[in-house]
């Protein structure tokens, strides 16, 4: 392309500090260096994690361009890049897959050492590719998709089927894959089992879709907001309950409802108390509980070790357990072959310049996923 090797000026939603509003700015995106890829973003989803830098719940350097759930087209590549080429349709990966670290090499691991979990905000050479008003602007989770163009490392991009609609498969970049994988890959839900899902946002609904795909016979959705129950049932929940409707602890309620047969529970809220509730709610001897919701940083959890001593399994789950570069293209192919329906998760589609409106829908609990089109 004619822009290869040159800086590109484009629009991006810049966050200048904690609790500051998103500001649509003109930014300059430098060309990719060796081992890097510059992507033209076509569609990006608004995920709750994108709000963490706004609220201060996640360590971030400012100014920053957030966004991590997207689909786009490769505009240009740096020296040595071999897995994608200009014109390829791709999904940026907030969870990289370098293929060389111990997590990538082990068949059961997926938390690559290149993942930016500490908020470094720079690429491997220690610098950023964004500038705005003469100042460097930091990267977010290896991706920074709230920009018309972004630069990522080759380990943070996966080539997908050219026929994939970006405004739908962008959800495979985070929310859908995280929830669906928690059920089918991390928990490995078995046919005929009973599952309980705590939290019925976009990721929680994706967990339900995964439990259903795995053949669970009973899927109980749990949320404090009853307005979410119809949607949960439409994607596969067999029933939904609100803990506020009971005087007993939720684990006792579930035990009585199911004749003590909950095999799998999923915490998709990110609250410490709910994590313990979910653990206590799966069967004391053979149950598995999966932590899917991102826990608040710098918080410690206190629980009764007897909950584990009796035989329960407590598991963590990052990005559904998927190996990103390997598995994302397969999930996109599964979507194209109609193995699951992403339309059920997309409630709003807005132009990119209405990013603030998209977050307002999130805060009000009126959206499951808002997709921004560039």
Q: Domain for residue 151, yes or no?
A: no
Residue 254 shares a structural domain with residue 208? yes
Residue 1 has what pLDDT? 55
pLDDT in tens, 288-316: 999 998 887 767 889 999 999 999 999 99
Residue 296 shares a structural domain with residue 364? no
Query: Would you say 346 and 168 are in contact if contact means Cβ atoms under 8 Å apart?
Result: yes
Q: Domain for residue 242, yes or no?
A: yes
What pTM did the predictor assign? Answer: 0.95
- Quote the domain boundaries for residue 360: 342-373
Per the structure block, which two tokens stand in for 275?
């994590």
Residue 259 shares a structural domain with residue 193? yes
Domain count, the chain: 2
Residue 182 shares a structural domain with residue 310? yes
Q: Domain for residue 287, yes or no?
A: yes
CA distance 20 to 15: 7
Q: Domain for residue 197, yes or no?
A: yes
Residue 303 shares a structural domain with residue 355? no
Q: Residue 357: in which H helix or E strand, if any?
A: helix 355-363
Q: Domain for residue 141, yes or no?
A: no
Residue 307 shares a structural domain with residue 351? no
CA distance 23 to 15: 6
Residue 118 has what pLDDT? 84
Low-confidence spans in the chain with pLDDT less than 50: none
Residue 351 shares a structural domain with residue 313? no
CA distance 69 to 174: 5
pLDDT in tens, 36-77: 999 999 999 999 889 989 888 888 999 999 999 999 999 999
Q: Domain for residue 69, yes or no?
A: no
Residue 346 shares a structural domain with residue 315? no
Nearest C-alpha neighbor of 185 from the set 300, 341, 330, 53: 330
Per the structure block, which two tokens stand in for 31?
């060309």
* CATH number of the domain within which 213 lies: 3.40.50.720
Residue 82 has what pLDDT? 98
Residue 312 shares a structural domain with residue 250? yes
Residue 223 shares a structural domain with residue 310? yes
What phi and psi values does residue 70 have, to the nearest 5 degrees?
A: -155, 170
Residue 184 shares a structural domain with residue 306? yes
Residue 298 has what pLDDT? 67
Strands (DSSP E) contained in the chain are 8-14, 23-29, 36-45, 70-77, 89-92, 130-132, 135-137, 149-153, 157-159, 194-198, 218-222, 239-241, 262-267, 288-291, 313-316, 346-351, 369-373
Residue 52 has what pLDDT? 87
CA distance 2 to 226: 52
Distances (CA, A) of 14 to 24, 255, 353: 6, 47, 12
Other beta carbons less than 10 A from residue 341's beta carbon: 11
Q: Domain for residue 202, yes or no?
A: yes
Span between the terminal Cα atoms of the chain, in Å:
19
Q: Domain for residue 187, yes or no?
A: yes
Residue 59 has what pLDDT? 83
Residue 360 shares a structural domain with residue 274? no
- The angle subtended at Cα 103 by Cα 340 and Cα 92, nearest 5°, is 50
């Amino acid at each position: 392309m004619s822009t290869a090797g040159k800086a590109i000026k484009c629009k991006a939603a810049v966050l200048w500090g904690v609790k500051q509003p998103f500001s649509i700015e003109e930014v300059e995106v430098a060309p990719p260096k060796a081992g890097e890829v510059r992507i033209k973003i076509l569609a990006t989803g608004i995920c709750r994690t994108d709000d963490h830098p706004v609220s201060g719940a996640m360590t971030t350097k400012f100014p920053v361009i957030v966004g991590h759930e997207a689909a786009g087209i490769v505009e240009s590549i740096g020296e040595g890049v071999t897995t994608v080429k200009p014109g390829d349709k791709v999904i940026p990966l907030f969870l990289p897959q370098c293929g060389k670290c111990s997590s990538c090499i082990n068949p059961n691991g997926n938390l690559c050492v290149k993942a930016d979990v500490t908020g470094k905000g720079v690429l491997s050479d220690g610098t950023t590719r964004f500038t705005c008003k003469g100042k460097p602007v930091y990267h977010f989770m290896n991706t920074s998709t709230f920009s018309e163009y972004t630069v990522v490392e080759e380990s943070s991009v996966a080539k997908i089927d050219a026929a994939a609609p970006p405004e739908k498969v962008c959800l495979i970049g985070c929310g859908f894959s995280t929830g669906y994988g928690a059920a089918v890959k991390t928990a490995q839900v078995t046919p005929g089992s009973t599952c309980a899902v705590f939290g019925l946002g976009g990721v929680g609904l994706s967990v339900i879709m995964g439990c259903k795909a795995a053949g669970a016979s009973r899927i109980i959705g749990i949320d404090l907001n009853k307005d979410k129950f119809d949607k949960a049932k439409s994607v596969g929940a067999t029933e939904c309950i609100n803990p506020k409707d009971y005087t007993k602890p939720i684990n006792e309620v579930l035990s009585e409802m199911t004749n003590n047969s909950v095999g799998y529970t999923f915490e998709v809220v990110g609250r410490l108390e709910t994590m313990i509730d979910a653990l206590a709610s799966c069967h004391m001897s053979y149950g598995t509980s999966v932590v899917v919701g991102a826990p608040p940083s710098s918080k410690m959890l206190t629980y009764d070790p007897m909950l584990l001593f009796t035989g329960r399994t407590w598991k963590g789950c990052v990005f559904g357990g998927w190996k990103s570069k390997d598995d994302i293209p397969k999930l996109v192919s599964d979507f194209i072959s109609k193995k699951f329906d992403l339309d059920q998760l997309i409630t709003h589609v807005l132009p990119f310049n209405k990013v603030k409106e998209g977050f307002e829908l999130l805060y009000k609990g009126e959206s499951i996923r808002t997709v921004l089109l560039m």
